[in-house]
Amino acid sequence: MKLKFEAIRLPLAHFALELEFEIEATSIGVFGESGSGKTSLLDLLAGVRKAPQGTILLNEFLLQSNAKFVPPNRRAIGYVPQDLALFPHLNVRKNILYGAKRASTPALNTIAIEQVITALNLGNLLERRIVDLSGGENQRVALARAIASRPNLILLDEPFTALDPKLRRTGVELVRQLRHEFSIPFLVVSHSQSELRSLCDVLVEIGAGKILRIYKSNSLC
């Protein structure tokens, strides 16, 4: 994927998020201290927040400019927020199928829902209510729901924060699966640089709303 932010400026509580960069990679990791603007960056990409000025392009497709704003439902960007935001009134099956109606993108229309369910080992949970799931199960469902919507890019916000060390390793493996089994590019936000290093091609460090550095992850390995 090719991601480009041009003169984006979004006022936040204590500073303004200012983004100007261009990256070409299949997996991008963004890290930085809490409150540095990482989630706001994801919100801008997903379209759930709108910057008053600037341009965002994904694979040359204009997501926002000063004159145009593509709404979230037309972006084909899957978003797994930190709190997972699973629909509590729907069971696991209905959660996963919620986004499956999206018009499929040419490269990914071969992803079958069954494949997603099998890959994430959700077969025996399909009729369960969301409130009856464990933290790790919730995470798998949220990931499956995002994949099943056949996105061009998946955004993951601190996907491992709420998990214990064992589940954390499983979570990292799941994200790897995104890349190998489904070939979906992803952008993952975490405060743990080491976790991102093992997952992502390119790392972006953000601090107080500004990009501090961008580098290939293996350059530090």
Partner 1 sequence: MMAGHWQVIEFTLLVCLGSSVAILAPGTLLAWWLAKTKSQWKTIVETVVFMPLVVPPVATGLILLDLFGRRGPLGSAIRAVFGVDVAFTWRAVLIATAVMSFPLLVRSARVGFDSVDPRLEQIANTLGASRSRVFFTVTVPLAVRGIFAGFLLSFARAVGEFGATILVAGNIPGKTTTLSLSIYNLVQLGKDEEAFALVAVSVLIAFGTVFASELLLRARANSK
| 152-191 footprint of partner 1 as x/- string (CB under 8 A) | ----------------------------------------
Distance from C-alpha of 120 to C-alpha of 146, rounded to nearest angstrom: 12
- Is residue 149 a contact residue for partner 1 (CB under 8 A)? yes
- Is residue 11 a contact residue for partner 1 (CB under 8 A)? no
Closest distance of CB 164 from partner 1, Å:
24
Closest distance of CB 87 from partner 1, Å:
6
Q: Which stretch binds partner 1 (CB under 8 A): 29-37, 73-81, 159-167, 202-210?
A: 73-81
Q: How many CB atoms lie within 10 A of CB 71?
A: 10
Beta strands across the sheet bearing 61-64: 61-64, 53-58, 2-11, 16-24, 210-216, 202-207, 27-31, 186-190, 153-157, 77-80
The smaller minimum CB distance to partner 1, of residues 27 and 149, is found at 149
Q: Which of 26, 57, 62, 72 binds partner 1 (CB under 8 A)?
A: 72
The single-letter DSSP state of residue 166 is H
Distance from C-alpha of 221 to C-alpha of 219, rounded to nearest angstrom: 6
CB 19 within 8 A of CB 8: yes
The smaller minimum CB distance to partner 1, of residues 4 and 75, is found at 75
| 95-134 footprint of partner 1 as x/- string (CB under 8 A) | ---xx-xxx-------------------------------
DSSP string, 86-101: --TTSBHHHHHHTTTT
Burial class (CB in 10 A: 0-12, 13-18, 19+), 70: middle
Binding residues with partner 1: total (CB under 8 A):
25
- Is residue 77 a contact residue for partner 1 (CB under 8 A)? yes
Site for partner 1 in 41-70 (CB under 8 A): 46-48
SS (H, E, C) 6-47: EEEEEECCCCEEEEEEEEECCEEEEECCCCCCHHHHHHHHHC
Tell me which residues touch partner 1 (CB under 8 A). 46-48, 71-73, 75-79, 81, 83, 85, 87-89, 98-99, 101-103, 145-146, 149
